């Protein structure tokens, strides 16, 4: 059996009622935030968020701790819902998705790299990568084993198949978690602080991997970070959050040259 990275027929995941991510052509808006607001009790976390994320691009969402970065991405998979405005994915308003079955296709076509890697300690690296396939596809044991080897190869961990997470360095854990997030051939990958806690050299390796996966697989990537080095390395565009609003939106070069006070503060260029 052959598999292409973004072929829906190869995914083993049956189409549900949710948005079809592969139906959006490159350079077209895949995700659209319109006047999105989010509150926790009376505290405003996001307000007036308007943003388009294009199919096949890498958007880095920058911001200080507590600026609402993770809240923005959590709403994309239904962990949170906006209190104001709408979010559309592939032309569908996410507010129309009411049940787990409605959310199924979008969630299974979204890879999520957690900041702490979130590997299962009781499983080997190979078993971690295989887990989503075993849970959500009809593939045979042989097919899963072949795909596990392929995903580990994509992240440069060919020799880690039988290792436990405890035997991995921080960078290797991040790569193993990324291999698991690739298990179902996602069209969208969300990276939550992918270089947090890593030394600069290892962080650069993770950045190179993010860029290469975008180029070779054609995935849309959203990177939540405060790492300017990583941002310069991977970003097609940058959105800077400040006090729940978008203070800047554009390329990294435009960000570096922006007269915006908040952009300059983030770049440590305050007068």
Structure tokens at 208: 């190179």
pTM of the model as a whole: 0.87
Task: Give pLDDT, residue 163.
Answer: 96
State the sign of the Cα–Cα–Cα–Cα dihedral 128, 158, 170, 163.
positive
User: Mind listing the pLDDT tens digit for each residue in 112-135?
Assistant: 998 878 899 999 999 999 999 999
Those residues with Cβ within 8 angstroms of residue 13's Cβ, 6 or more apart along the chain or in another chain: 104, 105, 108, 109, 136, 137, 184
Q: What domains does the chain contain, in order, with CATH numbers?
A: 28-109+186-271 (3.40.50.300), 118-184 (no CATH)
Those residues with Cβ within 8 angstroms of residue 254's Cβ, 6 or more apart along the chain or in another chain: none
Closest Cα partner for 19 from 110, 85, 82? 110
User: Mind listing the pLDDT tens digit for each residue in 199-240?
Assistant: 999 999 999 999 999 999 999 999 999 899 999 999 999 999
User: Mind listing the pLDDT tens digit for each residue in 231-267?
Assistant: 999 999 999 999 899 999 999 999 999 998 899 988 8
């Amino acid at each position: 059996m052959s598999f292409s990275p973004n072929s829906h027929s190869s995914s083993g995941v049956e189409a549900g009622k949710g948005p079809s991510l592969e139906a959006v052509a490159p350079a077209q808006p895949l995700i659209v935030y319109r006047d999105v607001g989010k509150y926790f009790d009376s505290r405003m976390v996001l307000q007036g968020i308007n943003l388009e994320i294009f199919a096949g691009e890498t958007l880095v969402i920058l911001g200080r701790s507590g600026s609402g970065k993770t809240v923005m991405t959590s709403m994309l998979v239904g962990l949170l819902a906006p209190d104001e405005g709408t979010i559309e994915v592939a032309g569908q308003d996410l507010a129309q998705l009411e049940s787990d079955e409605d959310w199924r296709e979008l969630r299974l076509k979204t890879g999520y790299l957690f900041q702490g890697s979130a590997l299962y300690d009781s499983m080997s690296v190979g078993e971690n990568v295989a887990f989503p396939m075993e849970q959500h596809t009809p593939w045979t044991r042989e097919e899963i084993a072949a795909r596990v080897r392929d995903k580990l190869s994509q992240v440069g961990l060919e020799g880690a198949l039988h290792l436990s997470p405890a035997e991995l360095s921080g960078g290797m854990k991040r790569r193993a978690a990324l291999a698991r997030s690739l298990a179902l051939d996602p069209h969208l990958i969300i990276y939550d602080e992918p270089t947090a806690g890593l030394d600069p050299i290892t962080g650069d390796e993770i950045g190179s991997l993010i860029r290469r996966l975008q180029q070779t697989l054609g995935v849309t990537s959203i990177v939540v970070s405060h790492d300017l080095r990583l941002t310069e390395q991977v970003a097609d565009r940058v959105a800077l959050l400040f006090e729940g609003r978008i203070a800047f939106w554009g390329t990294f070069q435009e960000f570096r040259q922006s007269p915006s006070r908040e952009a300059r503060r983030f770049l440590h260029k305050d007068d």
